A and B are shown apart, each in its own frame.
Chain A
Amino acid sequence: MRLDLTAVLNAIADVVFSRRRAWLALFALVTAGLGYSAGGLRVDAAFNKMVPLEHPYMKVFTQYQQTFGGANRVIVALRQRQGDIFNPAFFQALKQVTDEVFFIPGVDRATVTSLFTPNTRFIEIVEEGFAGGNVIPADFRGTPADLAKVRVNVLKSGGVGRLVANDFKGALVRAELLEVDPVSGARLDYQEVARRLETIRARFETGDLSVHIVGFAKAVGDIADGARGVIAFFGVAFVITALLLYWYSNSLRVTAIALLCALLPVAWLLGLLPLLGYGMDPMSILVPFLIFAIGVSHAAQMTHAWKLEVLAGRDSPAAARAAFQKLIVPGTVALLTDALGFLVIMHIKIEIVRELGVTASLGVALMIVTNKLLLPILLSHASVSDDERRRAAAREERGRNIWPRLARLARPRPAALVLAVAAAALMLGVWKAQGLRIGDLGTGIPELRDSARYNRDSAVVTDRFTIGVDVLAVIAQTRDVPGACTNYEVMDAIDRFEWHLRQVDGVQSVLALTTLAKIIHAGWNEGSLKWRALPRNPLVLAQSVTPVDTSSGLLNTDCSAMQVLIFARDHRGDTIARIVRAIKAFAAANDSERLQFLLASGNVGVMAATNEAVDAAEETMLVSIFGALILFCLVTFRSWRAAACILLPLVLASVLCEALMAGLGIGLKVSTLPVIALGVGIGVDYGIYLYERMQHELEQNAAGLTDAFAEALRQRGTAVLFTALTMSVGVGSWAFSALKFQADMGLLLAFMFLVNMLGAILLLPALAAFLLRPGTRRAG
């Protein structure tokens, strides 16, 4: 078997190295073509991509999106810096902002609501019955008398807290966005919406007025802006990597070759994405860097192997061929394992995670070509001066003293100590990881820093208005109840639901058809608050419900669905979970054949679904990725002991990563979900490279465990150590990013690089010392 493999490798090497120029020409051609295609790569953000569309909540969401509108709302709040809003300048600005919002492409114009829109009316009780009108009368001129009238009308309209700030120092314009243009079918351009909103701010923010804008579209725009800075950070990481690579290789040429081979898969990937119909999502902006990081790791292995061959006295082409033959198997296995690992996360039914799976596994697969074919071919052309050879030899000599010392960890006694420390770390990790929370932990959006304009705006809107920006909508759906809106049983259940939800901690207010029906019923009784209850008589109930139009978003045309809007204080993961639990408890006790309370819509409804999907996905993802890794290790090394030696350090690293997330207050959500999968994907390389060489030494050269591991470290450990340190420094620099999300990722990935490295060079031999005892070694 082994002999066959060697023959096969030889044959492959012949094919590769006999036509080096042809290969190089082919690569150049591919690079040119994909480079051209990469020019067409577009930034592609979409609300629906962040959402688990197959989650039951999202089925309800999709079903009623047409009827009640979705969760994609933008709010532009104007705030008077001094005094209250009742001055002509404020109202003029508010009117203009309302118009501006109305004309933003993608805004569902029927949903635009402010004091100036015709859907904002007031009702008052007079001796003769009702009187009503627009809050801002048609003949409004901004005179003191007009303003006084508007002030009274605002109170009568119930718009305080909804359209006007509770302290009368601000007013807002809100609108829903349409993800797909109903006429042209074109997808919504979020960047454009964000840009238009920002021009509104630029125009109206003055010494007297401040403008606060919130909504998914604005958030995406701000994240995309921040993501531009990401490119600068990639630049920093690239330069650091280049410098360290030069220091490591002592050769400009080798450094350039290694960098080229690490960058090529990124370039190819960016070129392939438009061809496959994908864009680059601001949330996935880290993937190219990860591909680069994995590329550097493998390039470091290959150049190191090549250098060792050169030091052993071969010329460049022979050394390249030898390095190729040595690394093609472990390298390809490691890359295929990565690719498989990234592929399995695709069964998580959130589009953006799937995209991440596709891009990451594609990038890693491309690396097999660039790293295992192109790199040795380029190295075979690299000449080595005697001076370089001497210096490299001297450096290797220094390493020679370190590695055997480290390898002593493979002896039983030190191994026991290492295992004890690891076990303690594991227990600590498991304990701390209990604190890991699903969803957002702050009040703003965690992708941006707390001090970011968006998060400050969000705080202003939440503080000053009752409705806030976080809405969870529940659909009360009736079946075979004609005229459900006038059925006391149904309406009373909704009323009880409203009352039930208002008592839940984290609920700011609740708005349902019954809320308005009670107010109108009191209105029919001259506005006496004592009548603010639902009438039992169907005719009287009808009288109280009919004034509520379907445009309120609280009922559909035949009353078979009524929407209850629950305004949450924030969208922290535990707030959402608590509200959802209360809803489920009520539904469980009250749902019947005729009436059901269905979760969920509104932005918090979407978050609830996403949090639940992420919670479920986390386990599936880890099980899948580790399952794939186990399978691959078993197939490659044909030993469960090997799989254990390679994977147990990764398990420890994953647990510690979760503990770190809990400690740093980083919630588990769609954007942070893949970090462990990616970290594991990078970490498994180290283990596979080291173990492959160790196994080779044990089996081919019949070395003792300590010697075998020392040799593995000498040949492969340098590259592992180098890669881990280089990448940690590179991603560590992200801590200074404007995007909090990126700063968090940088920290977590740096941690994963280091801990995986330590696991591979410290824990792996210690595990081997116990699992690969003489006599059991071959039986495994």
Chain B
Amino acid sequence: MGGAGARGGACILLSHALLAPLTGLALLAFAGGVGADAPAATEKALAKIRSLRPLLLDVASAGARLVAVGERGTVLVSDDRGQSWRGAQTPTPATLTAVYFHDARHGWAVGHDAVILRTQDGGETWAIVHSAPREEKPLLDVWFASADSGIAVGAYGLAYATHDGGRSWRPLKVLADDMHLNALARGSGGRLYIAGEAGTLARSTDGGRSWSRLPSPYRGSYFGMLALPDGTLLLHGLRGKIHRSTDDGRSWTPVESGTQANLLGGAVLDDGAVVLVGYDGVILVSRDQGRRFALSRDAEGKALAAAAAAGPEMLLLFGEGGVTRHPLKRP
């Protein structure tokens, strides 16, 4: 009797979208064909990003645009400081761990399977320029000195350098051991730093060609390093550890964080405030160049990997729960 044809809803479109062979494309399937004249579809795509909540691991500014990367090749872009996000096309299902933009158009992302992606249109489209799944090593951070020269570092001492904008990459030897190289940072005077596993700390004064080990104040791992505009260096890592240096890494003083949660990522905001984020939704904010931090927690308590400013009084947090917004209290 009547009705068999129409039963079960009409979400065939959705399941087609999900069939996209590259899973990272699934987000795009909705957002891709959508212009400003189709607000309903845009809303649907946004709702999808909200409900999917992919693991996001890093964020970078491409001019006014924000580009976040993460789980299974996900790249999300926002042109309104994080109010809305849409998926960008990526050619890999590998999880992306870091992203860097030299200017509004030129950017690079790295991740698992030692994959390196390059964009020349501000993150809209990406091309694979390097991939080495057999190495079984992920790349963990990427940094460029110019539109041509850059460095990518990763697990077990893995590192690559490029001088042709990322078209080709050559192995780079940083230190003699094979500890994980977790993060790259550029301090004052063009000095480059690498922080990593088990207190690994290295510095280069020649733009990354040669590296020397720095004495480490901590035997645990560092997940990141922030270089403040005034030359202050901040290391953050395992179990809430923060170390601060004002002499280009020669000596370090511990900073009390008030938490034992791993501090995974951080950002220096336009107004000079320093933000560190980590496990259990921990958010640390310093307004005195990292001497003291105020501790607060994101309501959901999910692990956070990166942060960016959504405006003068609003933080964007990236991590286990996708993107979330968190009000930033004025001092």
Binding site for B on A (CB under 8 A): 125-127, 152, 155-156, 160, 166, 429-431, 433-438, 496, 499-500, 502-505, 507, 525-533, 535-537, 540, 573-574, 577-578, 581-582, 585-586, 589, 615, 618-619, 622, 654-655, 658, 662, 676
B244 part of interface (Cβ distance < 8 Å): no
Q: Which residue of A lies closest to B197 (CB)?
A: A526
A434 touches B3 (CB 8 A): yes
Q: Could you list 9 A-B pairs, sorted by A, with CB under 8 Å?
A: A152-B280, A155-B280, A431-B2, A438-B7, A496-B23, A527-B279, A528-B262, A532-B95, A574-B11
- Chain A interface main SS type: helix
Q: Is there contact, CB below 8 Å, between A528 and B223?
A: yes
Does any Cβ of A come within 8 Å of B112's Cβ? yes
B: residues with CB less than 8 A from A are: 1-9, 11-12, 14-15, 18-19, 23, 26-27, 47-48, 51-55, 57, 71-72, 93-95, 97-98, 112-113, 133, 136, 138, 140, 155, 180, 182, 197, 219-221, 223, 238-239, 262, 264, 279-280, 300-301, 303, 305, 319-320
| Residues A526 and B136 in contact in the complex (CB < 8 Å), given A581-B15, A658-B1, A662-B3 | no
Question: What is the minimal beta-carbon distance from A650 to any residue of chain B, in angstroms?
Answer: 11
CB-nearest residue of chain B to A676: B1
Measured CB to CB, the nearest residue on chain B to A431 is B2
8 Å CB contact of A429 from B2, B14, B320: B2
Q: Ordered nearest first, which 9 A-B pairs have the shortest CB separation?
A: A574-B9, A433-B2, A577-B8, A530-B97, A533-B95, A127-B220, A430-B2, A436-B3, A529-B305
Q: A529 near B264 (CB under 8 angstroms)?
A: yes
Q: Which residues of B contact A166 (CB under 8 A)?
A: 300
**Chain B residue with the shortest CB-CB distance to A657:** B1
The residues of B that contact A536 with a CB separation of less than 8 Å are: 113, 133, 136
With A433-B1, A525-B180, A529-B264 in contact, is A502–B52 under 8 Å at CB?
yes
With a 10 A CB-CB cut-off, give which of B8, B12, B301, B303 has the most chain A CB atoms. B8
Residues of B close to A504: CB separation below 8 A: 14, 18
Query: A622 vs B2: C-alpha distance in the bound complex, in angstroms?
Result: 11
Task: Determine if B14 and A434 form an interchain contact, defined as CB atoms under 8 angstroms apart.
Answer: no
Q: How far is the CA of A160 from the CA of B27 in the complex (A)?
A: 27
A160 nearest in chain B by CB position: B301
> Chain A contacts of B138 at CB under 8 A?
530-531, 533
Chain A residues with Cβ below 8 Å from B52 are 502-503
Which of these, A435, A540, A618, contacts B6 with CB under 8 Å? A435
In the bound assembly, the distance between CA atoms of A528 and B113 in angstroms comes to: 17
A658 engages B3 (CB within 8 Å):
yes
From A530, which residue of chain B is reached at the shortest CB distance?
B97
* CB neighbours of B27 from chain A (8 A): 503
Q: Which B residue sits closest to A127, measured CB to CB?
A: B220
Residue ID in chain A nearest B26 by CB atoms: A503
Q: A573-B8, A618-B1 are in contact. Are A585 and B19 (CB under 8 A)?
A: yes
Indicate whether A125 sits within 8 Å of B238 (C-beta atoms), given known contacts A433-B1, A503-B18, A662-B3.
Answer: yes
How far is A507 from B140 in the complex, measured between Cα atoms in Å? 31
> Chain A CB within 10 Å — which of B7, B95, B98, B280 has the most?
B7
Partner of B71, one of A160, A499, A526, A531: A499
B residues near A435, Cβ cutoff 8 Å: 3, 6
CA distance A535 to B137 in the complex (A): 9
Write out the residue numbers on chain B whose beta carbons fall within 8 Å of the beta carbon of A574. 8-9, 11
The CA of A622 and the CA of B264, in the complex, are separated in Å by 62
Q: How far does the alpha carbon of A52 sit from the alpha carbon of B307 in the complex, in Å? A: 51
Contacts of A655 in B (CB 8 A): 1-2
> Can you add 12 more A-B contacts, CB < 8 Å, to A155-B280, A527-B238, A585-B18?
A125-B238, A127-B239, A152-B280, A434-B3, A435-B6, A496-B72, A507-B51, A528-B182, A529-B57, A530-B95, A533-B112, A573-B7
Chain B residue at minimum C-beta to C-beta distance from A537: B136
Shortest distance between the CB of A626 and any CB in chain B (Å): 10
Instruction: Give, as a whole number of angstroms, the nearest-CB distance from A230 to chain B.
Output: 28
Q: Smallest CB-CB separation from A615: which chain B residue?
A: B7
